[in-house]
Amino acid sequence: MSASWTLALHGGAGTIAREAMSDTARAAHLEALHAALEAGAAVLRDGGSAEEAVVAAVVALEDCPLFNAGRGSALSAAGTVEMDAALMLSNGRAGAVTGVRRLRNPVLAARAVMRAGGAVMLAGEAADAFGEAEGLATAPPAYFETPQRRAQLLAARRAGAMALDHDGGFGTVGAVARDRAGRLAAATSTGGMTNKPPGRVGDSPILGAGTWADAVVAVSCTGTGEAFLRVAAAHEVSARMRHAGQPLEVAAGQVIRREVPAAGGRGGLVAVDARGNAALPFGTPGMYRGVARAGAAPWAAIHA
Ligand code: ASP
């Protein structure tokens, strides 16, 4: 099926037990997904670019404390917020930041890196300073941290493990889009995994691992980042389509159901191809996700 524009987004894949979620919580989560879908869809409906649409959708999810990106980011083992984000377009332009602590919207910093030209990725304090110099909004640590994230860190410390933030909470966010002009874009933003070692970088900001866009497909991943890194998950979707001739649904499904588990991980992704088809496979009980396309009602869901 093709459409003149398509937007798909995720708010993380994890073990979100259906019975553990109250009706009120469920409604709040779906409402947040619909608000982010509308932020991106409004851009595409008006003829705006896939780039603008994915950034608008991701900013909405970063600003929502329910998701593990921007406000409400997961906490590292040191109790700090260290956020990663990436943006990539089908024309090959890309920008990424990793380990930022002050920028309210890391995806805007990724876009600023892309627009500045030169470097594709900036890390740590230098990335924060770059964003500030670009006029991006900053916030103190208290803005990013929520009581839920602190509780998750304490639980992960007790378990002595690094945890997928959305095991019981909310996850990494991302969006992919095809605009009316046929351009594709992908963006991903995350606080990473709870109790991660300080300095740890997951798949989300790494082009080809958690985020990828080319002329064929745009992909944003979520899940145990180390496994997505090992199989270059996002790029693998494109490789399967380009070199093996697999349709989007097959390529995306095999990466999530075979390759990521074979590398010891789990999670999901959202992808949109050049014809406007969308795929949202996940290998977990749920993935916060949604799709909006020209001429159809927006759709969002949490469980299978
Ligand atoms: N993939 C992210 C990471 O490893 C985590 C997530 O998707 O929630 O940093």
Alpha-carbon distances of 37 from 30, 41, 131, 231, rounded to whole Å: 10, 6, 26, 29
* pLDDT number for residue 159: 84
Q: Is 138 part of the annotated catalytic residue set?
A: no
pTM, two decimals, is: 0.96
Which amino acid residue places its CA nearest to atom 9 of ligand 1? 192
Compute the distance from residue 187 Cα to the ligand 1 centre, in Å: 13
| 73 Cβ below 6 A of ligand 1 | no
Compute the distance from residue 201 Cα to the ligand 1 centre, in Å: 9
Task: Write the pLDDT tens digit of every residue in 279-297.
Answer: 999 999 899 999 999 999 9
**Residue range 267-287: mean pLDDT, rounded:** 96
Which amino acid residue places its CA nearest to atom 7 of ligand 1? 222
Q: Domain spans of the chain?
A: 6-294
Q: For a substitution probing ligand 1, which of 97, 152, 172, 269 has the most ligand atoms within 8 Å of its CB?
A: 172
Task: Quote the CATH superfamily of domain 6-294.
Answer: (Glycosyl)asparaginase (3.60.20.30)
- Give the nearest ligand 1 atom to 201 CA: 9
Catalytic residue among 6, 98, 172, 190: 172
Compute the distance from residue 221 Cα to the ligand 1 centre, in Å: 8
Q: How confident is the model at residue 141 (pLDDT cuts 50, 70, 90)?
A: very high
Q: For a substitution probing ligand 1, which of 76, 97, 224 has the most ligand atoms within 8 Å of its CB?
A: 224
| 40 Cβ below 6 A of ligand 1 | no
Task: Write the pLDDT tens digit of every residue in 196-254.
Answer: 999 999 999 999 999 999 999 999 999 999 999 999 999 999 999 999 999 999 999 99
Read out DSSP for 185-207? EEEEEE---BTPPTT---STTSB
| 33 Cβ below 6 A of ligand 1 | no
